[in-house]
Chains A and B, each alone.
Chain A
Amino acid sequence: MRNLLILGGGTAGTMAANKLRRMLPANDWQITVVDADDDHRYQPGFLFMPFGTYRPDQVTKSRRKVLNKDVPLVYGEIDRVLPDEKAIVLADGTRLDYDMLIIATGVTPRPDQTPGMLSDEWGVSVHEFYTYEGSVALAKKLHDWPGGRLVINIVEMPIKCPVAPLEFSFLADDFFKGRGMRDKVEMTYVTPLPAAFTKPIAAQAFGNSLDEKGIAVEPDFMLMEVDSEKKALVSYDEREVPFDLLVTIPLNMGADFITRSGLGNELNLVPVDKFTQLSKQYDSIFALGDANDIPASKAGSVAHFEIDIFVENFMQHIAGKEMTHQFDGHANCFIETGGGKAMLIDFNYDTEPLPGKYPVAGIGPMSLLKETRLNHMGKLAFKWVYWNVLVPGRSMPVPALMSMSGKRTDLTTTQ
């Protein structure tokens, strides 16, 4: 009997476990998942909780219940991986041996990494919405906030769901309009990027939307510290942006045990081959989802397409064969733009988001890079798809690799 150990029972770990359990013979491979608790969060829901669109109880299910019943779930904090001994050790001293290891422990916002961020103002005038607790606290804050200077800030790339801060800005604009207080709120979007987004054509579309909604952009802003007394962001090139309410996306880092085990880079991400997600150091370790260092968005959508390809490679790898499938960095996501509309983008390692139709060329029904009501309905329907199709590891009726068909390639820029 061989052991496959999966660290992390989130989006990537659960999808991989559920898919592989159906593919690997039960009398040959045991699959075990390790996680610290039983709360599987629907993370895209964190964006909506501050505005009261989702209630906290709508974004959580039991990890145990969404995992295949034949996959044991071990609760525990991971102390370290011993890659040369093919074992992991939990904080309580429990040792688990493996033949193959999948690291899928994701990334976490780390306000402790920016000087001044975790001051007395944390949870008072300084908020975040990338954790369950943070999102709940921000909902309370916005409920009776009288208005003033709202600053939305990205500390450093890469972050989970790189479009979420834009969506937050659009939804906040909508929220304040709905409350008849938009004129009392001055909004500024402060980003380390040279524009609203990383990819030129999409950046222009998003930049226009920010402009139309009267949201100022402060680009190329590398945050040095949060001055909690002055209530201002201070950049390395000594610009200051004052705020009454700061909604920051702190530095996102992988789990500390990764670097403690000698497996991580400077952000605790596991360096892997970008086509197969096999560790560059050990051929018994893969890292999936946000936990690896592939140059793609950190998002459930990427994890989903990545794992479709990964499971085929995994089967070849354990059979001692060469891995012949290549993940292309494919991602697509709905972007809430407010007013009950959303955009959809579809892209990969080499192709930036382009306008067009998805998933069927010329027909859609979804429109790429364009605000429509149907895209918004798609975004809301996605919660059902997440729990009922993606996480159980069922097949989506869209291809895992990106297709150029239906896209306006004449608009492509060089990057």
Chain B
Amino acid sequence: MPTTTIAGRDVAVDDEGFMTQYDQWDEDMGKALAAAIGVDMTDEHWNVIRFLREDFKAQGETPTIRRVSTAGGVDTKQLFVLFPKKPAKKMAYIAGLPKPLGCV
């Protein structure tokens, strides 16, 4: 398993750079990860990221866009505004969660 340095700390990541250890993440790292993919974090972004973190803790998997929209209350259109082009991957990346399962 590769490791990398985010916000000055060594963390475990997968081949595409998604963090693999839930507990290694904190909001400073979230900010650094967001900056790395060109996302400027606002309160609205943080609301979404915090929902992802809590939902993962409760459900054991990264929520889909549909789940963020129905259970998290942020509509899909807005997710595309906050995390342009690939919101599912970008949200998971910033939140330090595994890449969402490409549902088979």
- Interface membership of A295, Cβ < 8 A: yes
In contact, A162 and B104 (Cβ under 8 angstroms):
yes
A-B contacts, 17 of them at CB < 8 A, read A158-B103, A198-B102, A198-B104, A220-B86, A222-B65, A222-B76, A222-B80, A224-B77, A236-B80, A266-B66, A267-B66, A295-B103, A296-B104, A297-B104, A331-B104, A414-B14, A414-B15
What residues on A are CB-neighbors of B79 within 8 Å? 236
In contact, B67 and A265 (Cβ under 8 angstroms):
yes
User: Closest Cβ of chain A: how far from B74's Cβ, in Å?
Assistant: 13
**Inter-chain CB contacts under 8 Å: number:** 44
Q: When each residue 53-76 of chain B gets 1 if its CB lies under 8 Å from chain A and 0 otherwise, what string results? A: 000000000001111001100001
A55 to B15, CA, bound (A): 48
Chain B residue with Cβ nearest A296: B104
- Interface membership of B35, Cβ < 8 A: no
- Interface membership of B9, Cβ < 8 A: no
Q: Assuming A158-B103, A199-B102, what are 19 further A-B pairs, CB within 8 angstroms?
A: A156-B66, A157-B103, A193-B102, A194-B102, A198-B102, A199-B104, A220-B86, A222-B80, A224-B76, A224-B77, A236-B79, A237-B80, A237-B85, A266-B67, A266-B71, A295-B103, A295-B104, A331-B104, A415-B102
- Interface membership of B37, Cβ < 8 A: no
What residues on B are CB-neighbors of A157 within 8 Å? 102-104
In contact, A198 and B103 (Cβ under 8 angstroms):
yes
User: Closest Cβ of chain A: how far from B76's Cβ, in Å?
Assistant: 6
What residues on B are CB-neighbors of A224 within 8 Å? 76-77
Number of interface residues of A (CB under 8 A): 22
- Interface membership of B101, Cβ < 8 A: yes
What residues on B are CB-neighbors of A237 within 8 Å? 80, 84-85
Chain B residue with Cβ nearest A251: B66
Chain A residue with Cβ nearest B101: A295
User: Closest Cβ of chain B: how far from A160's Cβ, in Å?
Assistant: 12
Number of interface residues of B (CB under 8 A): 19
Chain B residue with Cβ nearest A158: B103
Interface of A is mostly: loop
User: Closest Cβ of chain A: how far from B49's Cβ, in Å?
Assistant: 19
In contact, A236 and B76 (Cβ under 8 angstroms):
yes
User: Closest Cβ of chain A: how far from B37's Cβ, in Å?
Assistant: 15
Chain B residue with Cβ nearest A415: B102
What residues on A are CB-neighbors of B85 within 8 Å? 220, 237
Residues of B77-104 whose CB lies within 8 A of A: 77, 79-80, 84-86, 101-104
What residues on A are CB-neighbors of B64 within 8 Å? 266
Q: When each residue 151-166 of chain A gets 1 if its CB lies under 8 Å from chain B and 0 otherwise, what string results? A: 0000011100010000
| 3 closest cross-chain pairs (CB), A and B | A157-B103, A158-B103, A236-B80
User: Closest Cβ of chain A: how far from B82's Cβ, in Å?
Assistant: 12
A288 to B10, CA, bound (A): 42
Residues of A143-157 whose CB lies within 8 A of B: 156-157
What residues on A are CB-neighbors of B84 within 8 Å? 237
A1 to B70, CA, bound (A): 42
What residues on B are CB-neighbors of A194 within 8 Å? 102
User: Closest Cβ of chain A: how far from B93's Cβ, in Å?
Assistant: 15
Residues of A273-312 whose CB lies within 8 A of B: 295-297
Q: When each residue 192-224 of chain A gets 1 if its CB lies under 8 Å from chain B and 0 otherwise, what string results? A: 011000110000000000000000000010101
A92 to B40, CA, bound (A): 55
Residues of B3-61 whose CB lies within 8 A of A: 14-15
What residues on A are CB-neighbors of B67 within 8 Å? 265-266
